[in-house]
Amino acid sequence: MVNWSLGEEGELLLSNVRILMSKYGESYWNQIDWRREFPEDFINDFFKAELGGILVPKEYGGPGMGAREASAILYEVNRLGGNSYFLHGQYYVTYALSRCVGGDRRDICLREVVRGRRAMTLALTEPQAGSDTTKISTFARKVNGKFIVNGRKVFISRLSHTDYLLLAVRTSPYDPARRTYGITLFLVDAKSPGIERKEIRTMSNTDAHEVYFNNLELSMDDVIGEVDKGFGCLLAALNAERTMIAAELLGNARWFLDRAVKYASERKVFDRPIGANQGVQFPLASGYAKLLAAEALLGETLEQLEGERAGEYSNSLKYISAELSWDLANVAMDVYGGYGYASDTGVERKFRETRLYMVAPVSQNLALSYLAVHSLGLPRSY
């Protein structure tokens, strides 16, 4: 298990998460998956337990905790059979808000988040730009001191169940000589006129949407960071997102491993436990060895998250954790035989849930491209 080094307050948080997860056991998560429902009861209780606002700084009434506590919570929810997908947006959005300057909207939002409001969505991806983020074309045009936003986003998570979204748009056209210049972040009321959405049905239960902005009106008070210079703040959010999602992937990896080991010990075929066969036990032992290494890397990444090597560590961690969780998902499927394919064991649900992170929030190829260029000094391929 990860050595979180949380201190008394953090440990108390984790024990509250465990209590909550004992109320929302695996059958709850299986059922909302079958019915494609948002886990509204769980999320309400999560916020009532004051777990939603932990990253809000003390000057806004929050406890001012960090990515370490958030990662521990996401890991634990997944380790205990839940799906942190429905939570992680709240953490990386409030992480970005607490680190970047902003106007009135930000201050109000942070205070409201402490009281249970939801800031769970980052709207970045666009159909044409894809992984080439600086080519986004949703545009906020300045008119009489206001910003008028038009454009389209895709795969925007949790949109129908959030109060605020962090929106990345262009305020100046793309310039190949200064690719990251001209991007601005806005904090937006999700129910604003000018926002329409269409749900995208996906492989797992996601509440993901295609979103259309039609003359959405925003003001300077809604800007997070600086106009045209939002990319730095966006990067802080993306590194935190990669790290926190990696933590939940390692929670999944633990879940697959724990489940598969238990099943391999109990299931008898040819008059002995299947786990007595090296063909069954070696993939489990190999996954265990890799998990110990990945959990150590998670600890180191949390140390580096505010420093110069944040990109290198968070991309490495995201890459390793997604590979490992997906490998162990397949190992668990094999160990369970036909029962892995049956929905009520939860293995196939987790299998689908964990597969998402081979492509999101950054694809494995793009995480490797980052390392090739920034860590190894190889020519840029993208």
Ligand X SMILES: Cc1cc2nc3c(=O)[nH]c(=O)nc-3n(C[C@H](O)[C@H](O)[C@H](O)COP(=O)(O)OP(=O)(O)OC[C@H]3O[C@@H](n4cnc5c(N)ncnc54)[C@H](O)[C@@H]3O)c2cc1C
Binding positions for ligand X, rule: CB under 6 A: 121-125, 130-131, 155-157, 202, 206, 208, 356, 359-363, 365-366, 369, 381-382
Least distance from ligand X to the Cβ atom of residue 281, Å: 33
Least distance from ligand X to the Cβ atom of residue 113, Å: 18
Amino acid at 112: E
Q: For tokens 């205070």, name the residue.
A: 111
8 Å CB contact between 12 and 69 = no
As a whole number of angstroms, the distance between CA 379 and CA 86 comes to 37
DSSP run (H or E) holding 145: none
Q: Locate all alpha helices (DSSP H) within 124-277, ordered by sequence.
A: 231-266
Least distance from ligand X to the Cβ atom of residue 359, Å: 5
Q: Does the N-terminal peptide bond of residue 193 adopt cis geometry, omega within 30 degrees of 0?
A: no
Least distance from ligand X to the Cβ atom of residue 316, Å: 16
8 Å CB contact between 90 and 98 = no
At residue 11, the 3 state secondary structure works out as helix
The whole-angstrom distance between residue 283's C-alpha and the CA centroid of its chain comes to: 27
Q: Locate all alpha helices (DSSP H) within 100-146, ordered by sequence.
A: 104-114
Closest chain position to ligand X (CB): 130
Least distance from ligand X to the Cβ atom of residue 132, Å: 7
As a whole number of angstroms, the distance between CA 377 and CA 157 comes to 34
Query: Which one, of 47, 131, 135, lies nearest residue 86 by Cα?
Result: 47
Nearer to ligand X, 111 or 152 (CB): 152
Nearer to ligand X, 16 or 192 (CB): 192
Nearer to ligand X, 16 or 365 (CB): 365
Query: Which one, of 308, 322, 324, lies nearest residue 367 by Cα?
Result: 322
Least distance from ligand X to the Cβ atom of residue 165, Å: 9
Nearer to ligand X, 153 or 259 (CB): 153
At residue 272, the 3 state secondary structure works out as strand
Nearer to ligand X, 150 or 363 (CB): 363
Least distance from ligand X to the Cβ atom of residue 364, Å: 6
Nearer to ligand X, 13 or 140 (CB): 140
DSSP character for 348?
Answer: H
Nearer to ligand X, 112 or 126 (CB): 126
Q: Which residues contact residue 51 at a Cβ distance below 8 angstroms, ignoring those fewer than 6 apart?
A: 13, 16, 17, 20, 73
Nearer to ligand X, 2 or 122 (CB): 122
Least distance from ligand X to the Cβ atom of residue 85, Å: 8
